[in-house]
Amino acid sequence: MTDPILSQRITDLTGAKIIARSHLSGGCVAKVMRVDLDNGQALVIKAGANANLDIEAAMLRYLTDHSPIRSPNVLYGDSGCLVMDFIANNGQMSGSVQRDLARQLATQHAVTADQYGLSFDTLIGGLHQPNTQSKSWVTFFGEHRLRYMATVAHQEGHLPTRLVNRIDKLIVKLGDLIADKPAASMLHGDLWGGNILCHDGKIAGLIDPAIYYGDREIELAFGTLFGDLTPEFFEQYSEVSKIEPGFFEERRDLYNLYPLLVHVRLFGGSYVDTVDQTLSRFGV
């Protein structure tokens, strides 16, 4: 989208004109910028050819309608352009932010559905994420998370056949490792530090979702993959919503296979070795 067309679109949406713009970090599938308007409003614009930004817009709108946690309000979204509110972020994940996130995320996880998945497919890190709905969490996690991502990673040349075969063996064992009917909680789906906005010691909002309904433990696990969720978070979360025994000891690593496979597709390298190590831990 050219600058004149973009400027006119912003004016059509807001009745105001752009007076300043600056590039923002974090756009892995599209360019991201902040624009300031002459009415004092600040917006974020993502732009990129074939970036599926209409799907991100749909996810953000769904979160706005269903989650107690703030996410950017979407003003406009198509496949190549997304316009949304700017949310101030100081990037300081203090203890008070961890506790506030825990309380709000536990409340979001209390929003449930009667099936796992979602009525539409979504994205994670710009990658297609199938959400075919299922009454069985074992089936959903095995087929639409582990097998799907492993198969595509293999087709793209990132994951060797030997690891795909071991993941197939793990999927057969899932019924002995995870519950088949946990609550189908509303998940942000990509909960790591870069997607958590904070300001004045509280959560300001969550961005870049990969939403679906699933076992909340997969969300809690992902938050530990890079150390973003701290003991302060888990202490507060467990006061609001009990974490069942075995999560930290076993299921956390099992659930983190999914984001690891996503990272194999995005980055390759050492993530393949971590997948290998995790599979060994579960005896396959």
Q: What is the pLDDT of residues 230-262, one digit of tens each?
A: 999 999 999 999 999 999 999 999 999 999 999
Res 51: pLDDT: 87
Residues in contact with 106: Cβ distance below 8 Å, sequence separation at least 6, in sequence order: 237, 240, 241
How big is the chain, counted in residues?
A: 284
- Stretch(es) of the chain classified as CATH 3.90.1200.10: 95-281
Residue 186 in contact with residue 218, Cβ under 8 Å?
no
Q: Give the sheet arrangement for strand 31-37, strand by strand.
A: 18-23, 31-37, 42-47, 81-85, 74-78
How many Cβ atoms from other residues are within 10 Å of residue 182's Cβ? Answer: 16
What is the CATH topology of the domain spanning 95-281?
A: Aminoglycoside 3'-phosphotransferase; Chain: A, domain 2 (3.90.1200)
pLDDT of residue 199: 94
Count of C-beta atoms within a 10 Å radius of residue 127: 18
Q: Across the 284 residues of the chain, what is the mean pLDDT of every consecutive 10-residue run? A: 79 94 78 95 91 96 97 96 95 94 98 98 96 98 98 98 98 98 98 94 96 98 96 98 97 98 95 98 96
pLDDT digits (tens, 9 = 90+) for 10-38: 999 999 999 999 998 766 677 899 999 99
Give the pLDDT score at 49: 78
Report pLDDT for 3. 75
pLDDT on residue 1: 53
What are the start and end residues of each CATH 3.30.200.20 domain in the chain? Answer: 3-85
Residue with tokens 């003991």: 231
Q: What integer pLDDT is reported at residue 2 of this predicted model?
A: 60
Catalytic residues: 190
Do the Cβ atoms of 240 and 106 come closer than 8 Å? yes
- Helix, strand or coil, per DSSP, at residue 208: coil
Residue 48 pLDDT: 85
Domain 3-85 carries which CATH code? 3.30.200.20
